[in-house]
Amino acid sequence: MKQLIEIANQLHALEKKIEKDTNFANYNRHLQRIRQAVEEMGITFHNPEGEKYADTRTDIEANITGEPSENMVITQAIKPIVMQNGQIIQSGIVIVESSFTTKA
């Protein structure tokens, strides 16, 4: 099981890198095939970036940057939420910021 979680974490990291670098876009099809094979083994993973944050969420461990507010958003996922047959086997590790924060 530990190995499948590590594969999910590495796929997540590769997908994030490919997302930022168009030179690697051609590899996306191969990553999707690997993702499908992992999902056929009952393991799914989810990148929560861009989702609204609430301190009641139990599927993530959050590091909050800046001042907490009512409009917090997950801006970066260090590790994805990994599930097996609908049960969380790894909480996502994320960075959360106010949705009003602008980056310079």
Q: What is the pLDDT of residues 46-63, one digit of tens each?
A: 999 999 999 999 999 999
pLDDT at 4: 85
Task: Report whether 96 contacts 74 (CB < 8 A).
Answer: yes
From CA 1, how far away is CA 70, in angstroms rounded? 37
From CA 19, how far away is CA 42, in angstroms rounded? 25
Of 4-13, 16-25, 88-97, the least confident:
16-25
CA distances from 88 to 2, 35, 41, 98, 104 (A): 13, 17, 15, 26, 36
From CA 8, how far away is CA 43, in angstroms rounded? 8
Task: Report whether 72 contacts 53 (CB < 8 A).
Answer: yes
Report the mean per-residue pLDDT for the chain: 87
